[in-house]
Amino acid sequence: MISGTIVVASEICKGCELCIASCPQQSLGLSSSINHKGYRFAQLVQDNCTGCTNCALVCPDSAITVYREKKTAKRAPQMVIASHAA
Amino acid sequence: MNSTVNEQMEVVYHKPQTLTDTPMHYCPGCGHGVVHRVLMEVIDEMGIAERTVGVAPVGCSVFAYHYMNVDMQEAAHGRASAVATGVRRVLPDKFVFSYQGDGDLAAIGTGETIHTINRGENILMVFVNNGIYGMTGGQMAPTSLCGMVTSTSPYGRDAAQVGHPLKITEMIAQLPGAYFVARHSVHTPSAVRKLKKAFKASFEAQKEKKGTCFIEVVSNCPSGWKMTPNESNAWMEQHMFPHFPPGDIKVPASMK
Ligand SMILES: Cc1ncc(C[n+]2csc(CCOP(=O)(O)OP(=O)(O)O)c2C)c(N)n1
Ligand code: SF4
Ligand code: SF4
Ligand code: SF4
Ligand SMILES: [Mg+2]
Distance CA B54, CA B68 (A): 8
Return the pLDDT at B167: 98
Q: 3.40.50.2020, 3.20.20.140, 3.40.50.360, 3.40.50.970: which CATH number matches B32-255?
A: 3.40.50.970
Tell me whether residues B5 and A56 touch, CB distance under 8 A.
Answer: no
The residue whose CB lies within 8 Å of the most ligand 1 atoms, and thus the one to mutate among B27, B62, B63, B104, is B104
Distance CA B99, CA B65 (A): 10
Q: 2.60.40.10, 3.30.1960.10, 3.30.110.30, 3.30.70.20: which CATH number matches A4-68?
A: 3.30.70.20
What atom of ligand 2 comes closest to residue A51's alpha carbon? 1
Return the pLDDT at A73: 54
Residue extents of the structural domains in chain B: 32-255
For every residue of A4-21, DSSP letters joined together read: EEEEE-TTT-----HHHH
**Which ligand is closest to the CA of A63, given by its number?**
3
Q: Say how many Å lie between the first and final Cα of chain B, rounded.
A: 45
Which residues of chain A lie closer than 8 angstroms to B16, CB-CB?
A: 62
Task: Report the relative pairing of strands B132-133 and B124-129 from DSSP bridges.
Answer: unpaired
Q: What is the pLDDT of residues B148-205, one digit of tens each?
A: 999 999 999 999 999 999 999 999 999 999 999 999 999 999 999 999 999 999 999 9
φ, ψ for residue B106, nearest 5 deg = -110, 0
| Residue in B95, B144, B3 with CA at minimum distance from that of residue A47 | B3
What atom of ligand 1 comes closest to residue B135's alpha carbon? 19
B98, β-bridge pairs: B55, B125
Which residues of chain A lie closer than 8 angstroms to B13, CB-CB?
A: 53, 56-57, 64-66
Q: What is the pLDDT of residues B205-245, one digit of tens each?
A: 999 999 999 999 999 999 999 999 999 999 999 999 999 99
Distance CA B147, CA B245 (A): 18
- Quote the ligand 5 centre to A27 CA distance (angstroms): 33
Distance CA B171, CA B114 (A): 9
Which residues of chain A lie closer than 8 angstroms to B187, CB-CB?
A: 58
The reply to whether ligand 1 has any atom less than 6 angstroms from the CB of B31 is no
- Quote the ligand 4 centre to B27 CA distance (angstroms): 5
- Quote the ligand 5 centre to B150 CA distance (angstroms): 12
What atom of ligand 1 comes closest to residue B32's alpha carbon? 21
Q: What is the pLDDT of residues A16-50, one digit of tens each?
A: 999 999 999 999 999 999 999 999 999 999 999 99
Residues 6+ positions from B151 with CB-CB distance below 8 Å: B137, B138, B139, B140
B71, β-bridge pairs: B53
* pTM of the complete model: 0.95
Residue extents of the structural domains in chain A: 4-68
Are the C-beta atoms of B205 and B213 separated by less than 8 Å?
Answer: yes
Enter the ipTM.
0.96
